[in-house]
Every structure is written in structure tokens, then in C-alpha cells.
């Protein structure tokens, strides 16, 4: 049985409370932590920003990708044809343009899929019935579920596969099961007239993905022919607008406080509009941190992304484990000056326990200058 050595130590200039009342001579606090934000941690106070590097060599670097530029690559009838941007043995991260009704049913036998609808709206038909979907929805599709989308307007979807795994709701601990969002807010498909009307005796094909290879099954009828069902396994959705974030006006909470879904080897968090900390001594922006056990991916959906410069909706940043990252210079200065009282950003964060690999599709839309976007901190 493991019993890590943990004992509090104080040395030199430091604050008594993490992320608050930082010493004037060392305002650049860096959190060095293990196991995400749940393990042992220390807070080191620097006189220079820990992201103020002047040169970077090698592949381990912060990356920014503009998925808006994937228009020619990301379309297609099948979600499995959308390009993989990042991946590891437990996760695949895709971006898909669905502009026309799917004429083939999709079935992912490799794991659960999480869809985040970045743009557009439409209707989802699946084994469990009919479900309207719209911009801002998360849709969890259990492994091996048959489904198809019928867009009412062109749709752009972020897709995160939990390979050989399933999505669960996070343990909300002492704040209780109704915090962040009440499970009663979750919606599920219905066996309604819209679903029954789409059933026909025409030839339908099902594309099944297993071991990252496709097989095709042909039926002489529409296999989405359920007349009813009962149980506790189904497609479910929730919109980011239904999330009520945990907040503290005196302390900047870590990203883990905003967890929406969990799998065994990664978590998905949602940042939604909220008041910025009002206590004079509290840090107002994400703190510098060395999250050395997780890779961090952030998809920017909407709003003013207050901790980043030159980031627009539809872009992704990828910060691998192994170096310190944190707010850009303007954001840090604005936080020090208490210039903003509210943030309206909406973003989806993926934190993976296993290292992610960027693909050629991801590199094709990468901004190579992003690694130097913190340099103005030297000015």
C-alpha cells in the first residue's frame, strides 16, 4: 500500500493561502502538483513569470490549432471520417462538419462518444429514439449505439471518444449531487411520432468502427425500429447553459471544480460565464501551474477568452505535461488591476492522464508562433 510522504514546509517568501495575498516581491506563483489538482502540491513564488522563455527547441511545446481551417478535411457523411486531431490509447479527439443528413447509421464499438455541438442544430435518431440537439449541447452516446444526425443547419461538432471506456458523471463530494447541474437536467431520446415516422422498409447500411477499422452491415429495413425500451443506459445530453459553476469570490478554483464528465483515464471540464473573484487579494486569472501528470487540451467555443490573447472560437490549445503554463501577459496584468468583474467565456477542457499525440491534420492548422505568445512578459 502506497503512503506518499506529505508534510507542510514553508521557506522564504510565500503566501499563507494558495492563489491569494501573494507577496509583492514575488507575485508570480507557480503550483507544482501531482495527480491533477488532487495530489501533493507546492506553490513556488518567482520574481519572473515562469512562462517568460525566449527560445524553445524540441517537440514538447504549447500548441494552438485553428480548427476553423479544417473545412476541407472535416466534412463527410460519417463521423469516423472526420480527422483525428489528438489521440492516445484511451482517447480520440476529432472535429467533424456535418452539413447533410446522414444516410448511413454510425456505430462505435470502440467506446463511448461525447459530442459537443459547436455550431448548428438538428435531430439525432438512435436506438433509444429521437432527440433534438442544438449549439452548446453535450451528447453522450454509449458504446455500440446506432445513430444518425439530420442537421437543420450546418453543424460543427467536437468529438471525444472514450476508447474502451465509458463516460460517467463526476463525484461532486461535499457540495452534493445537485451542484453544478442537477441530474434531472439531463435529457434523453424519446419514442415519439418523429421517431416512428422515420422507420421504413428501405435498405439501410450501418458503419461499425471496431479496433479503429470500419465494417459495413446491410439491413433490408431501418434498424432504428424500436417501439419502446426501459433501463438506465441511454443517450443523454446537457447544454452548457444548464451548468451552474462552482464559485468562490475569495479563491480561484482549479479546473477540476468544473468537471462535467469523467472516464477512467481523462476528464472533460466546462468553463462557462461566471463572476470573477472579487476579494482584493484573490488571484483573478488561472494560476501558473506545472500539471505534470496530465496533458491539457482546451477547445474555445464562445465569448472572450480572458486568459489568452489572439484566441478565437473554434481554436484549440494543447499544453502537454512537462512544462509550466498559465495566463498570457495582458490577462495577468488585467487580473492584477481588477479590470474585469465577469468572464463570458465558454470552453471545453480535456485533461488526459496519458500523453496525447498530435496528428498531421492537427499540425496542418497549427500556429507555430503560439509557443512565443508569452514573450511580451519580458517587456
Q: What is the CATH number of the domain that holds 321?
A: 2.60.120.10
Do 95 and 170 belong to one domain? yes
Angle (CA) 194 200 203, round 5°? 135
> If we measure between CA atoms, which residue out of 146, 149, 367, 353 comes closest to residue 262?
353
Q: State the DSSP string of 117-172.
A: EEE--EEEEETTEEEEE-TTEEEEE-TT-EEEEEESS-EEEEEEEEET---BPPP-
Torsion angle (degrees, nearest 10) of CA 17, 19, 21, 25: 110
Whether residue 82 lies inside any domain: the answer is yes
Whether 19 contacts 277, CB under 8 Å: no
Whole-angstrom Cα distance, residue 317 to residue 307?
12
Do 97 and 203 belong to one domain? yes
Do 250 and 363 belong to one domain? yes
Whole-angstrom Cα distance, residue 260 to residue 268?
6
Do 90 and 233 belong to one domain? yes
Whether residue 4 lies inside any domain: the answer is no
Whether residue 151 lies inside any domain: the answer is yes
Do 171 and 252 belong to one domain? no
Q: Supply 355's cell numbers.
A: 500523453
Whether residue 2 lies inside any domain: the answer is no
DSSP conformation class of 363: H
Do 199 and 249 belong to one domain? no
- H helix and E strand count, the chain: 3, 24
Whether residue 180 lies inside any domain: the answer is yes
Whole-angstrom Cα distance, residue 35 to residue 3?
14
Whether residue 20 lies inside any domain: the answer is no
In sequence order, which residues have a C-beta less than 8 Å from that of residue 185 and are 6 or more positions away?
A: 238, 242
Number of domains in the chain: 2
Q: Tell me, what's the pLDDT at 99?
A: 92
Last residue of a domain, one of 216, 240, 264: 240
Last residue of a domain, one of 182, 209, 240: 240
Q: Tell me, what's the pLDDT at 2?
A: 65
Do 338 and 220 belong to one domain? no
Do 90 and 177 belong to one domain? yes
Q: Tell me, what's the pLDDT at 73?
A: 64
Q: Tell me, what's the pLDDT at 341?
A: 86
Q: Supply 343's cell numbers.
A: 468572464
Q: Residue 99's Cα: distance from chain center in Å?
A: 23
Whether 361 contacts 85, CB under 8 Å: yes
In sequence order, which residues have a C-beta less than 8 Å from that of residue 301 and are 6 or more positions away?
A: 116, 118, 136, 240, 313, 346, 347, 348
> If we measure between CA atoms, which residue out of 135, 154, 278, 147 comes closest to residue 223?
147
**Which structural domain range is residue 49 located in?**
28-65+243-378
Give me the residue label for grid cell 504549447: 62
Is 89 strand, coil or helix?
A: coil
Whether residue 10 lies inside any domain: the answer is no
Q: State the DSSP string of 298-344.
A: EEEEES--TT-SS--TTEEEEE-TTS-B---HHHHHHHHTT--SEE-
Do 207 and 247 belong to one domain? no
Do 330 and 256 belong to one domain? yes
Do 54 and 113 belong to one domain? no
* Beta partners for residue 302, in sequence order: 346
Do 140 and 234 belong to one domain? yes
Q: Supply 3's cell numbers.
A: 503512503
Q: What is the pLDDT along the chain (379 residues), one digit of tens a residue?
A: 666 667 778 887 888 887 877 788 778 888 887 877 777 788 888 888 888 899 989 888 999 999 999 876 667 789 999 999 999 999 999 999 999 999 999 999 999 999 999 999 999 999 999 999 999 999 999 999 999 999 999 999 999 999 999 999 999 989 999 999 999 999 999 999 999 999 999 999 999 999 999 999 999 999 999 999 999 999 999 999 999 999 889 888 888 889 999 999 999 999 999 998 888 888 777 888 877 889 999 999 999 876 666 789 999 999 999 888 888 777 777 777 777 788 889 999 999 999 999 999 999 999 999 999 888 644 4
Q: Tell me, what's the pLDDT at 377?
A: 43
Q: Tell me, what's the pLDDT at 17?
A: 84
Whether residue 22 lies inside any domain: the answer is no
Last residue of a domain, one of 193, 208, 240: 240
Amino acid at each position: 500500500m502506497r503512503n506518499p510522504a506529505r508534510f507542510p514546509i514553508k521557506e522564504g517568501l510565500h503566501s499563507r493561502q494558495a492563489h491569494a495575498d501573494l507577496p509583492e516581491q514575488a507575485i508570480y506563483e507557480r503550483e507544482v502538483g501531482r495527480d491533477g489538482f488532487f495530489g501533493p502540491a507546492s506553490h513556488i513564488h518567482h520574481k519572473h513569470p515562469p512562462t517568460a522563455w525566449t527560445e524553445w527547441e524540441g517537440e514538447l511545446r504549447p500548441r494552438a490549432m485553428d480548427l476553423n481551417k479544417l473545412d476541407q478535411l472535416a466534412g463527410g457523411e460519417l463521423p469516423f471520417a472526420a480527422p483525428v486531431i489528438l489521440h492516445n490509447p484511451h482517447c480520440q479527439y476529432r472535429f467533424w462538419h456535418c452539413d447533410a443528413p446522414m444516410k448511413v447509421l454510425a456505430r462505435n464499438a470502440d467506446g463511448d462518444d461525447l459530442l459537443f455541438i459547436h455550431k448548428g442544430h438538428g435531430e439525432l435518431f438512435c436506438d433509444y429514439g429521437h432527440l433534438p440537439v442544438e449549439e452548446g449541447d453535450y451528447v453522450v452516446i454509449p458504446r455500440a449505439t446506432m445513430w444518425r444526425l439530420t442537421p437543420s443547419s450546418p453543424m460543427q461538432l467536437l468529438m471525444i471518444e472514450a476508447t474502451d471506456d465509458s463516460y460517467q458523471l463526476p463525484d461532486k463530494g461535499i457540495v452534493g449531487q445537485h451542484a453544478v447541474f442537477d441530474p434531472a437536467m439531463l435529457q434523453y431520446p424519446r419514442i415519439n411520432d418523429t421517431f416512428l415516422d422515420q422507420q421504413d422498409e428501405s435498405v439501410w447500411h450501418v458503419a461499425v468502427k471496431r479496433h479503429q477499422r470500419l465494417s459495413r452491415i446491410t439491413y433490408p429495413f431501418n434498424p432504428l425500429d424500436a417501439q419502446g425500451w426501459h433501463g438506465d443506459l441511454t443517450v443523454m445530453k446537457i447544454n452548457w447553459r444548464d451548468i451552474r459553476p462552482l464559485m468562490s469570490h475569495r479563491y480561484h478554483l482549479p479546473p477540476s471544480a468544473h468537471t462535467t464528465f469523467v472516464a477512467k483515464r481523462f476528464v472533460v471540464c466546462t468553463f462557462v460565464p461566471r463572476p470573477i473573484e472579487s476579494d482584493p487579494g484573490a488571484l483573478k486569472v488561472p494560476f501558473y501551474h506545472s500539471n505534470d501528470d496530465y496533458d491539457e487540451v482546451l477547445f474555445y467555443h464562445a465569448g472572450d477568452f480572458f486568459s489568452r490573447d489572439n484566441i478565437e472560437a473554434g481554436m484549440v490549445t494543447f499544453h502537454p505535461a512537462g512544462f509550466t503554463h498559465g495566463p498570457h501577459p495582458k490577462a495577468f496584468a488585467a487580473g492584477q488591476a481588477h479590470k474585469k468583474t465577469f468572464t463570458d467565456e465558454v470552453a471545453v477542457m480535456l485533461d488526459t492522464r496519458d500523453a496525447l499525440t498530435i496528428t498531421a491534420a492537427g499540425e496542418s492548422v497549427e500556429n507555430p508562433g503560439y509557443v512565443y505568445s508569452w514573450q511580451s512578459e519580458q517587456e
